[in-house]
Amino acid sequence: MKKRNFFYTERKQFKNIHEYLNICLSNHANNILFKFVKNGNSCAKRYKEVFDDILSLEAAFSEWNFEKKHIAILGKTSYEWIVSYLGVINAGYVAIPIDKLLPVEAIIEQLQFVDADCLLFDNDYYDVVLRIKESVDSIKYFVNFNEKAGNMLYLYDMLETPHKDTSLEILPDTAAEIVFSSGTTSNSKAIILTHENLASNVAYCSQVIDASVTDILLSILPNNHTYELTVGILTPIYFGATVCLNDSLKMMKRNLKAYKPTIMIVVPAVLEMMRKEILRAVANQNKNKKFGTAMKISKLLKKVNIDVSRKLFGEILEVLGGEFRTFVCGGAFLPVELIDFYTTIGITIIQGYGITECSPLVAANTDRNGEVGSVGKIGGGCSVKIVDNEIWVKGKNVMRGYYKNAEGTEACMENGWFKTGDLGYISKKGYLYITGRKKNLLVLSNGENVSPEELEGKLLELDYINEVIVFGEDDFIKAEIYPNYDLFDGRDIEEIEDVISKKIKEINSQLPMFKQIQKIKIRAIEFEKTTTNKIKRYGGKEL
């Protein structure tokens, strides 16, 4: 039987997210869209029920007097958060997802900057909202997800608003959401994404992901990030799939068993965490030797196009719920060893590259169409070119601009091309490779340029290393390393440094002299992270 090539399958193009939601939610009316736990009880919402809630929100909003129609959303992952987001953009208003992990001062600063008219929030952040109410004059309406409190509105009262089916005329260039890149307004940008941006990107995502009405996704990433919203929430609606909401990372193991997902949208850190969980389960059953043998057999058979991985590792895959099939991974460098591990045990890795300004997906790999180490072919609806080693993107997925930042918009745009700030190249077969960030490039006195991310990627392929930052100092290339202490069984820092130094010498032997790592430093604790779990480089920059 010939394999289906989903990567190039044509998908319906929608004019805007309003049209997309109206058609897809109606097409799959009786399917279950969301599963979640509320007050200890298991809940489910069918597509038609979600559609009713969205239309009720649209009707409720239409009775209010907005100046900007900028509606912010603050809270943990929940049905209330997601239906609020869908309701806002379906009504033609602008959703502003807020990072719940930011300090209250930063949240206030962001809300002031975007001229928010309304804030929908989780009651867990009630005290934060009281501070916001005192500080942000533009917000006229405060809506509590969970209860009637103070003189604030209650979301479930809004969901009772009578409505009728509507068909709004929303122009493609109409803003759908404003998303902050990171941190506070002093070091981040407010990115305007339009209905056309999101609709075109959802169409591309639906080409890449091999999904159907029978698929179940477990949503574990923060809702305030475009990666999760576009790929993990909007795209499954196209297929009529079910999205199960993970209430917290602590509950992920339970939810994997309860929901038995087939697909997850993840970042590399999650893949590494789950790999360790699988290996821990193997060790607890005293099956390390048996597992190692099975890995060798699986790899050998795959070389001759025989795949028995699901039979070999069926018991092990129960850790992931037993039905698991595909990880969609983006957001950071993905070590080849992780791809190899999951492919060997029978799980597909769809590796992609995206950036918030591009809604976010630009390129993606699949096991059907891929080059190891690349991030895939360029997405439908956009073009990519390399200018002085920098990746430039042009297309329907590219943002309208930065809110209240014409200078910043002008600096990153040229004749419709968005300058990503990422370095890379395109192979002869059209696959995109990422080599680092332009702002992180190490410029040596001999005139050579070195990408720290390239070297970090090589180091992260070593099991001995959990985290690393490569940087330049006094014209030397140095690496600061947080080791995998579990593998060193109580050995002291000097011994650990000796083992890792020997491994780095092996890596250096394969590199030109100017790229070689001359010094290393072993650290006792993990690196400081951003709210998106990315390592902060020196000076507060993200890895």
- The C-alpha atoms of residue 207 and residue 210 are separated, in whole angstroms, by 8
- The C-alpha atoms of residue 299 and residue 282 are separated, in whole angstroms, by 18
- The C-alpha atoms of residue 134 and residue 92 are separated, in whole angstroms, by 28
Q: Find the mean pLDDT for residues 121-138.
A: 97
Q: Is 450 helix (H, G, I), strand (E, B) or coil?
A: strand
Domain ranges in the chain with CATH number 3.30.300.30 = 441-522
- Bridge partners (DSSP) listed for residue 326: 263, 348
- Bridge partners (DSSP) listed for residue 178: 192
Residue 272 · residue 465 · CB < 8 Å: no
- The C-alpha atoms of residue 452 and residue 478 are separated, in whole angstroms, by 10
Question: Topology of 14-30+39-209 in CATH?
Answer: Rossmann fold (3.40.50)
Q: Is 320 helix (H, G, I), strand (E, B) or coil?
A: helix
Is the model's pLDDT at 133 over the cut of 90?
A: yes
**What are the C-alpha distances in Å from 413 to residues 346, 385, 388, 402?**
42, 13, 15, 11
Q: Is 34 helix (H, G, I), strand (E, B) or coil?
A: strand
Residues near 76 by Cβ (< 8 Å), separated by ≥ 6?
100, 122, 124, 247, 248
Is the model's pLDDT at 25 over the cut of 90?
A: yes
59-96 pLDDT, tens digit each: 999 999 998 999 999 999 999 999 999 999 999 999 99
CA 424 to chain CA centroid, nearest Å: 20
484-495 pLDDT, tens digit each: 998 998 889 999
Is the model's pLDDT at 1 over the cut of 70?
A: no
Residue 196 · residue 17 · CB < 8 Å: no
Q: Where are the alpha helices (DSSP H) in 45-173?
A: 47-62, 79-90, 104-113, 126-135, 155-158
Does 21 or 463 have the greater pLDDT score? 21
Is the model's pLDDT at 7 over the cut of 80?
A: no
Domain covering 441-522: architecture: 2-Layer Sandwich (3.30)
pLDDT at 542: 43
**CB crowding 235-258: b at 16 or more within 10 Å, else e:** bbbbbbbbbbbbbeeeebeebbee
Q: Is 70 left (phi over 0), alpha (psi -120 to 50) or beta?
A: beta
- The C-alpha atoms of residue 519 and residue 476 are separated, in whole angstroms, by 8
148-168 pLDDT, tens digit each: 988 899 999 999 999 987 788
Is the model's pLDDT at 184 over the cut of 50?
A: no
- pLDDT-based confidence at residue 540 (cuts at 50, 70, 90): very low
pLDDT at 160: 97
Question: Which has the minimum average pLDDT: 347-351, 438-442, 529-533?
Answer: 529-533
| pTM (2 d.p.) | 0.90
Domain ranges in the chain with CATH number 3.40.50.12780 = 14-30+39-209
Is the model's pLDDT at 371 over the cut of 90?
A: no
Residue 411 · residue 425 · CB < 8 Å: no
Residue 33 · residue 86 · CB < 8 Å: no
Residues near 299 by Cβ (< 8 Å), separated by ≥ 6?
344
Residues near 37 by Cβ (< 8 Å), separated by ≥ 6?
43, 245, 247
